[in-house]
Amino acid sequence: GTFIVDMGQNFAGWIALRVQGDAGTAVHLRYGELLHPDGTLNGLTSVAGQIKQPGMGGPGAPPTAWQADTYILKGDGVETYRPRFTFHGFRYVEIAGYPGTPTLDAIEGYLLNSDIADAGAFACSNELFNRIQEIVRWTQRSNMFSVQSDCPHRERFSYGGDIIASGEMAMLNFDMAAFYVKTLQDHMDEIRPNGGPTETSPFVGIADHGFGEGSGPIGWSTMVPWLQWKLYTYYGDKQILAEHYDATKRWVRLLETSAVDSIIGHGISDHESLVPKPEALTGTGFYYHNVCLLARIAEVLGRADDVERYTALAGTIRDAFNAKFLQADSGRYGTGTQASQAFALFFDLVPAEKRDAALDVLVRDIVDQHDGHLTTGIFGTKYMLLTLTDLGRADVAYTIANQKTFPGWGHMLEGGATTLWEHWEYSDNVYSHNHPMFGSVSEWFFKALAGIRPDPAAIGFDRILIQPQIVGDLTWARGHYDSIRGRITSEWKLDGNTLTLDVTIPPNTTAKVHVPTNDPSSVQESGKPAKNADGVRQVRTTETESVFAITSGHYRFTTRIRR
């Protein structure tokens, strides 16, 4: 009398149940992401609030807060039940009390999320990456219900840290302009009396490693200036910088008064890291990042005095960071974990003369100590992939993303995942199986493999970088992003020793195109030497690339790559 329905996909939404029976018959539905080995429903990873024993949930709470519905038949022919006042996150549905045996057409799933349009797409010759891209998008869609949640069943809160980790992934895949303005306002509404943002919105009292009065940890609260800056970079929203400027200054002031000798010694740090977390290093790195963001916002708003003040403060923090954490003889920061090195390099805290050494420590840890695997958590994963790419080691980032063994995205897929897990390791009783924070890999797909990213000086994506990485065993990659100014496309194909790169740049924008080549004299655009082509200006040439400035239009670059 108990049936299990496999929807084939973990997602968030509703089911519609069609049933016919006597009045008063009660049909019970329970939802979960997994099955037990004996085939029965395992709903433990999606139990609301982790309430799994009597007394945990307070007065009126059930002993275990399953995701569940009960429908009582009215006995009037074929009836269709669909929830109205809730939604669920699930792959499997347990049906008990159904009159007779349900057929496959007795139940239908409805994917739900806030009405947000697609903005980008990515594909390449590596089928594993295409599968990862697909589960990232399913995960993000499952977690957009008015807020960007960390999971659609157990916690439904907007966590600031998760948005820092996955926010640009979301912007490159979906039109997040209005949604993220609303998200930012939600978090600004929760700022505590001392000026500290909260860990979640809505605020429910969660304040791990914060700064008192209910304020959240530094990595999560950094979302306040970070999201403002990304809304400006991607969508040109200058007004939002002005609206929240005073509140952002109060937050940075709280950090100033909380720092000891310019060091912030606490925080959640690199959540879900597989090695010990460097709390003081990441805390101070985020302190520096907040101050730098505020200085950049002040510059946009013409606050010259604040630009000078916060630029100087950033320099003081940078000096303190290196004095405390850098082993000058080796380039190692703190204990030299992947997260430690990635934080220092990504936030540009490393002195120029130590950058190669710091990068070498990172690469050796990945390649020699962990056989090409990551050890990073929520932030370190994003920062490491992008840092490796920016510093010329996209090949190592590719190796990390291409793993099918633990830990990594391929390991999730090998374990049957159809959405991203909260933890690198499979969990059958605690961690969510529909969690966006490790979706930052999709951001890397767009920025590194398709090569589409905003220039650091972009306002509403008006300045574009096209910088694809020809790495691993890839033979082609393509991506597009529908910016507020129009569609940007980058598509490349490697045929023997010939690389073809097709680029489209929308009106009223400019771009710099980095054509990968070790034979600069062979670079052509539409059949002409690129440096002489219409709308193309050669900027520089190195041993690995030729860089061209272009205006709006479609361009086809070709070059030979000597092997």
Which residue spans within 191-263 are E strands per DSSP? 200-201
Q: What is 274-290 written as a DSSP string?
A: SS---HHHHHHHHHHHH
| Cα–Cα dist 389/556, whole Å | 24
* Distance separating alpha carbons of residues 490 and 505, to the nearest angstrom: 9
Largest pairwise CA distance in the chain = 81
| Residue 490: partners with Cβ closer than 8 Å, 6 or more residues away | 450, 451, 452, 466, 468, 478, 479, 480, 501, 502, 503
CA nearest 481: which of 458, 498, 497? 458
The span from the CA of 324 to the CA of 344, in Å, is 12
| Alpha-carbon span 166 to 444, nearest angstrom | 11
Choosing from 168, 190, 199, 422, the catalytic residue is 422
Crossing angle for the helix pair 223-235 and 160-173, to the nearest 10 degrees: 10
Annotated active-site residue in 155, 190, 199, 545 = 155
491 is catalytic: no
- CB of 426 within 8 A of CB of 129? no
Cβ–Cβ contacts within 10 Å for residue 276, how many? Answer: 13
Strands 510-516 and 463-466, sheet pairing: parallel
Q: Is 422 one of the annotated active-site residues of the chain?
A: yes
Active site (catalytic) residues = 155, 422
